[in-house]
Structure 1
């Protein structure tokens, strides 16, 4: 028997909602990196990834990392091709020509400094109140509502 105190502790632990697991994000370090169907060079290349492309880390096996992209495709990449520097990708407006606004400050009323379409990759600089300060490879910086990005 676990006793009265043990029972109370068990009830308390089980009644607390499980905290959401932190997502382990990374990005690809070079262009034209192979994502493979399994953890090893002998496995088929199923996708090519470019520098900065954000991925979620699912697991590791030896020198290989299982990753998932923002559209749900998963595969394996060598660990030397992964960087823990966070990047984000525009997930809003898939299949449309609509673009999201990149703003001068982290609020909906701030001036628009640029726009970006679905699939555009940004380096993450910082976050504030649900907004992400981003840097585009061409040098543009600004703020994007985090709900429009994958990797946030």
Structure 2
């Protein structure tokens, strides 16, 4: 009877330990066991390098694909690292894991993806009273060349100018980027 009690108690202790390990978030593992692959800051924005990027539910090819991006250049935010995998967050707040070689350090942004129809004025200079050179719709994908003082210089096929930094997903408020 005593040996059955001891075995049951040992089993329950081991089970509690395993359940406790499973409850540890990936962030604790990535930071706590030295598996961070880079010394780059977290979080940080990057862009998708390929027209087809599978986002997985965990950091390995054995994990199921949660969804697939089908446009290169889209900005995503890296929120964690685990070996060669990066946990990313998109503009909608969805998270998943992407293999590092599918990401680029090139900075891009989506213009007001949280809005349905409001146009964003593109200005000739980094001032709210500067001439408007174009008005850009939500979800326009743009390249960022620099940001300073709450403004970002952006460009695309038919435009080049300055946008209010708060109108972009792909750059942090008051983040400074140099050309």
Provide the TM-score with structure 1 as the length reference. Answer: 0.76
Identify the residue that residue 42 of structure 1 maps to in structure 2.
Answer: 62
2:138 paired with 1:147: no
Q: How many residues align?
A: 130
In 1: Cα distance, 2:53 partner to 2:42 partner: 26
2:128 paired with 1:103: no
Q: Which runs of 4+ in 1 moved over 6 A?
A: none
In 1: Cα distance, 2:63 partner to 2:133 partner: 43
Q: Over the residues paired in the alignment, what is the CA RMSD in angstroms?
A: 1.9
Which consecutive unaligned segments of at least 5 residues does structure 2 have? 1-40, 172-179
User: SS at 2:79's partner residue?
Assistant: strand
> Which of 15, 26, 32 in structure 1 is aligned with 2:52?
32
2:153 paired with 1:133: yes
User: SS at 2:93's partner residue?
Assistant: coil
- Structure of greater relative contact order (alpha carbons < 8 Å, 6+ residues apart): 1
> Which of 107, 123, 129 in structure 2 is aligned with 1:86?
107
Identify the residue that residue 5 of structure 1 maps to in structure 2.
Answer: none
In terms of fraction of residues, the more helix-rich structure is 2
Q: Which has the larger radius of gyration?
A: 2
For residues 6-60 of structure 1, the C-alpha deviation after alignment (integer angstroms, 9 at most, x for no partner) is xxxxxxxxxxxxxxx8641111111121111111222222232221111111111
For residues 98-134 of structure 1, the C-alpha deviation after alignment (integer angstroms, 9 at most, x for no partner) is 2111111111222222222222221110112100001
Provide the TM-score with structure 2 as the length reference. Answer: 0.66
2:96 paired with 1:75: yes
User: SS at 2:121's partner residue?
Assistant: strand
In terms of fraction of residues, the more strand-rich structure is 1
Report if the CA contact (8 A) 2:42-2:79 is conserved: no
